[in-house]
Structure 1
Amino acid sequence: MRIEQGFQQTPFPRWHPYDTDLVLPQILKRILPADAFQEVSADLERFGSLVNGPIRELNELCSDPKITQYDNWGRRTDKLHTSEGWRELKKVAIKEGLVAIFYERKFGEYSRVWGFAKSFIFQGDSNVVMCPLSMTDGAARVIELLGTADMKARVFPRLTSRDPSQAYISGQWMTERPGGSDVSQTETTATEATHPSGLRALGPVYNIDGFKWFSSATDADMAVALARTGDRSLGSRSLSLFLVPMRFPFAGVSLHPQLAHSNNGIEIHRLKNKLGTRLVPTAELSLNATTGFRIGDLNAGVKSITPVLNITRLHSAITSVGCLSRCLSIARAYASVRIVDHGKHLLRDVPVHTATLAKVSLLYRALAHLVFGVVHLLGRVETGVASPAEEARLRLLTAVAKGFAAHKACGGMEECMAALGGEGYMEENIISRLIRDCLVEKIWEGTINVLSLELIKGAHSNPLALKSLAEWSKAIIDSVPPQMERSLSEALSILRPSIQYLLSALKPPVSQLVPRPALILFGHVFAALYLLEHSVWSSVNDESEKEIDMECFRRWVVEEGLVEATEEVKRIVGSPEDGGRRTDVDSDIVYGKAKL
């Protein structure tokens, strides 16, 4: 039989990433003022058409980066080669304002919602180009807040430009061999330097020496980096933050004329061989008397870098949920054309199949509401309209949104892959690539364990934090109309005590085993609260999906793990570690009695 003969599967349709999404338009309709919603929705419809057409075609032009370290005469060149598709996708992101929107602030506190919504529908087809754009966003914010006058005049406009010929992309260099996420062990040092007067235009000048083990966006124009400016025994208290040009001239500043095209003492040791995000040129870099310009106060690097981490963590959460959305769209589209049962039915008509996708869709709804709720908080804080309670809430919920989305999204994506059967396992349908790319979100910018420890630290460092969460939770539940409350009585009877228990479990002292289960419970609880907030809005405004919104809230609370997450925290709190016995047994289980 020739390949053209016999059964031919109808290709599943390529769906518009905004118009066919059942969740995002409703979130935006609720959060945004009516005039902003109309304009943002029109922009997303236009951009979604580009994503569904020429942008998806660009993915076929993408390939892994390569490096040529030496020329044929043995001279060090470190020439980085990226694919046409990767370069064009970056240009698309810049032109569409996927950094600029946040700083143009056309809609004030809602500009973050607009920009992240646009990034959201791009994620599944961006081939991870939003990774360097997210770091560029973080760099722009830290320069806006802490940069010198010349950084703000010369560098900030380029980081926030919509013109690819003028725009700068920024990397982020924190990770080193001794510490990983623990920057207190940073080996890289920075020494104040004397340079030609023109070089001082951007700020205090330093020579930086060290080795950065995991440096994303090596094809960028600059990076923000931590380096030690004091005694190593002081740990993170002797780190400062620097703007590091990848090469000169940079922002109108040149080194010595004889070094007009210097690579700024940066050598690419090698490109990292990663499971996913392979298009992002991540490298091990040697810094040899590399020129950097200090951002912010001396020895205040960790505090200075905090705005960058908050922003990149929300970009991470958007990536997790945006890629889940893309996988779910593929699974839904495939079910609309796949014929089963001897040609009698479409796959979408098989109850067990639809039930599986309904659970994935419910997960997607919960994560999307949680993440965009936190995005809106970020917008309020950045524009100075947030209350102190909202600022305290943002610190905790940023860690929760990033960690919980990373924890849950890939499992939903795996179900979408299985929903296509063997076809889902094929690279052509991109689900496998999206899973590989999204697995890094469990690690990048803090693992779930690291984030859970930060959650506890944040809860204890600000007395307002837990109080504000309790008050906000109560306000959401109190807003439920009486008739709706009767319909949701079972779910509300579970949610109320879970909130109270969670907040009480975080009061000091906290068992060493509580943080991770607490973050997971946080995710369940606050996703439920955002779903409830949306359901109340939907009911009060008589939206066509109001019954579905209520059912999604009910199922999320009753069926999707909130009860189990609460019981896990209760078990740990109620069973202290028996003088460390459980920790010792854990060690024996993992490493054996002999601790091999």
Structure 2
Amino acid sequence: MEPSSSNTGFIQQLPTIKNQFHDDASLLRVAKLFLPPSVLDHVGPEMEQLGDEVLEQQIFDWVTDAEKNQPYLRGSGRDAFGKPCGGELVVTEGWKKLQDFGFEKGVVAINYDTDYGPYTRLVQFLRCHLWEASCANTLCPAAMQDGAARLLQRHLAKQDSGALTATERRVFQNAFDHLISRDPSKAWTSGQWMTERTGGSDVSQTETVATYDPYPDGSAPPLASANENIPLGPWSISGFKWFSSATDSQMVILLAKTQPGKGVSAFFAPMRRHNPSLVSATGKRGNGTELNGVTIQRLKNKFGTQSLPTAELELKGMRGWLIGEEGKGIQEISTILNITRAHTTVSSMGYLGRGLGIAKAFAVVREVGVGKGKRIPLSQHPLHMRTLSNIAVDYHAMMLLVFYTLSVLGLDERGLLQDARVSPPSSTNTSPRIQPPPQKLVAPLIRIMSSLHKAYVCEHAVPLVFACMEALGGVGYLVNVESEHINVSRLFRDACVGAIWEGTTDVLSSDTLRALKHSSTGPDSLAALEWLISTSLNGASSSSSSSSSSSPSTKAASNIRQEWTCLRNKVTSQTQEQLLPEARQIVFRIAEVLMAALFAVDAATNPGAEIDAMYERYMSKKGFATAGDGGANDKQDPNLDGAIIYGSSFSRAETGRASSKL
């Protein structure tokens, strides 16, 4: 026997994670379920390449740099002699490089410069799913960039009496062009400033005030940019914003009050303004820029998302442009929220998908003792495989909910466009792909799903990412900057914010309940959910090979319908005040009903032993079926656990041999 040392003895083989476009079965299933073959064939090669690129060592080196060298304020906000200088935000080179990578890959631009019709959003977010866990939170400002681009796009499209003035159109078009650029030297991100000390998500208590203060006739207004001759706006905005992620952005959409009793209004403002009198460190007077009436008070010290600059900001005379009508700011900002909430939910699923990929890779190379001197890889250990397969079932159910929501978002933005390149499956194809909703139900579905899918997914993803971290044992708890590709603890810290940003779970549950009970939106929203559940279950049932009344799938479908009926009756028969204490449970259960219905469609569309097992396990876990219904107990074969995790070609013996070769 020889004693071990720091460099001798057993040293664990480092796991190698795979390209998720091939390795993530759920990602592939939702792509096939929601995208027509013509679109998937067209975007597949590019997604495959992106799946490789986001795992390159250079990317992880930038991630480590962005996490280790966190953003900071140069100086203390004053120069050496006490003169206020506003403080300048400094971000690391790794952060800049990751952001440039996202610009070049068009993580936002693809929705605006590429046309896959109503499927464009789905293509965009499939790509974001691959990028999320490698981007070091640069997709957070990109989310607000996306939302701002969509808001400006809507206003630029208006041609009626509420259309923009010539100057407003030029200013908004300039900003929009920057927001959708793929050129890192031109591309902008955007802030989204709503949160204040008074109310968090309750923007009715906003203390930021905007005053209409146009420049005197005949005088040239100051410029936001001298090179582009873009003037600053006629509104002067002052106040204090408590949270501002994307502090390094080039523009912002913010809320402010204009008149007592008028409500809040939405404004666009550039972050910087032209100042020809600025003096450089060498004494030269040049055409520089400075912050546009903004003082960065301090940066937030956060549990996660530490590479992302989040700050408290004081505004004094920030110049901006009104967006839409005075007092209609909440309606305007809702356009952004629909998109940023979708990005936040996709980020949660991106962290979970990568975490599961890391846990899978670790299970192949890590051996454990099972008694009498025998050792096997974790990928052959029945309990470990059951644990990972249970995570995979929940992951897949939430992927279905998220990407269905994104498909409706795409319909809302693009409509049911007819184009040969993006046509839906042929009418002769009898597979039960999820049908697009009638146009009249699209808006009600978006109103409900925008809050519902984020409330459920971001809350439930956190313990699942933690379970992936736990699957690595002690090494999973470490901050593995030495091997950034398996740094699942970073993913867990960053995933925790999903249930807080863009509305906490309680706020979103209350919002969903309010939409269901509102006299103008409630009936349509309930009808839209009814349509989705009935259409999904009917389509799945019509193609099922065992559609008898006694089959497990038929019983599960009956139980899903019964559960939905109970929920609908509960919502319609009680007041909002009576339902409010149970808002979380109600929203979560509606989400589970929707996921069960979508799961049924997926299982019927692309049948197989693994998806059948996943479907039956999900039905049993969520109370839509029991072991006595048949099938659920039969699907607990350890080989099926491995197939759920590693794919249909999984073999316990083959996995063991692969492990021994590494």
In 1, are the aligned partners of 2:556 and 2:625 still within 8 Å (CA)? no
- Summarize deviations over 1:415-467 as a string: whole Å, max 9, x none: 11111111111110422111111111111111111111111121233121101
The residue aligned with 1:338 is 366
Give the Cα separation in 1 of the matches to 2:203 and 2:107: 29
Equivalent position SS for 2:81: coil
Equivalent position SS for 2:192: strand
Give the Cα separation in 2 of the matches to 1:476 and 1:496: 11
Give the Cα separation in 1 of the matches to 2:91 and 2:391: 35
The residue aligned with 1:443 is 500
Check 1:249–1:484 CA distance in 2 against 1; reply closer, same or farther (3 A cut): farther
**2:101 equivalent to 1:92:** yes
Shift of 1:483: 2.5
Greater shift, 513-522 or 127-136, is seen at 513-522
Give the Cα separation in 2 of the matches to 1:399 and 1:215: 21
> In proportion to residue count, which structure has more helix?
1
In 1, are the aligned partners of 2:555 and 2:625 still within 8 Å (CA)? no
Check 1:210–1:355 CA distance in 2 against 1; reply closer, same or farther (3 A cut): same
Say which of 530, 549, 569 aligns to 1:470. 530
In 2, are the aligned partners of 1:521 and 1:562 still within 8 Å (CA)? no
Unaligned runs of 5+ in 1: 540-545, 565-596
The aligned amino acid for 2:336 is: V
The residue aligned with 1:49 is 52
Greater shift, 418-427 or 139-148, is seen at 139-148
The residue aligned with 1:217 is 246
The residue aligned with 2:124 is 115
Shift of 1:302: 0.7
Which structure ranks higher in relative contact order (CA pairs < 8 Å, sequence separation ≥ 6)? 2
In 1, are the aligned partners of 2:277 and 2:286 still within 8 Å (CA)? no
Shift of 1:203: 8.4
The aligned amino acid for 1:14 is: I
Normalising to structure 1: TM-score of the pair?
0.89
In 1, are the aligned partners of 2:232 and 2:273 still within 8 Å (CA)? no
Unaligned runs of 5+ in 2: 157-163, 224-229, 279-284, 417-437, 481-485, 627-662
**2:168 equivalent to 1:168:** no
**2:586 equivalent to 1:518:** yes
**2:562 equivalent to 1:497:** yes
The residue aligned with 1:582 is none
Shift of 1:529: 1.6
Give the Cα separation in 2 of the matches to 1:561 and 1:406: 22
The residue aligned with 2:405 is 374
Give the Cα separation in 2 of the matches to 1:350 and 1:241: 56
Give the Cα separation in 2 of the matches to 1:466 and 1:484: 30
Say which of 151, 154, 157 aligns to 2:177. 157
The residue aligned with 1:241 is 266
* Alignment map for 1:262-277 (pairs within 5 Å): 262-277=290-305
Decide which structure has the larger Cα Rg and report it: 2
Give the Cα separation in 1 of the matches to 2:616 and 2:469: 26
Normalising to structure 2: TM-score of the pair?
0.80
Say which of 589, 598, 613 aligns to 1:551. 613
Equivalent position SS for 1:550: helix
Shift of 1:258: 9.4
Say which of 579, 597, 607 aligns to 1:529. 597
The aligned amino acid for 2:409 is: L
Equivalent position SS for 2:321: strand
The residue aligned with 1:24 is 27
Give the Cα separation in 2 of the matches to 1:213 and 1:306: 20
Give the Cα separation in 1 of the matches to 2:193 and 2:525: 30
Aligned-residue sequence identity (percent) comes to 32
Equivalent position SS for 1:74: coil
Greater shift, 394-403 or 130-139, is seen at 394-403
Say which of 63, 72, 77 aligns to 1:66. 72
Shift of 1:317: 0.5
In 2, are the aligned partners of 1:150 and 1:203 still within 8 Å (CA)? no
The residue aligned with 1:407 is 459
The residue aligned with 1:136 is 145
**2:348 equivalent to 1:282:** no
Give the Cα separation in 1 of the matches to 2:91 and 2:193: 20
The aligned amino acid for 1:464 is: D
Give the Cα separation in 1 of the matches to 2:466 and 2:143: 25
Task: Report the count of equivalent residues.
Answer: 551
Give the Cα separation in 2 of the matches to 1:547 and 1:475: 24
RMSD (Å), alpha carbons:
2.2
In 1, are the aligned partners of 2:221 and 2:232 still within 8 Å (CA)? no
**2:448 equivalent to 1:419:** no
Give the Cα separation in 2 of the matches to 1:204 and 1:287: 15
In 2, are the aligned partners of 1:203 and 1:294 still within 8 Å (CA)? no
* Alignment map for 1:293-312 (pairs within 5 Å): 293-312=321-340
Shift of 1:562: 6.3
In 1, are the aligned partners of 2:232 and 2:319 still within 8 Å (CA)? no
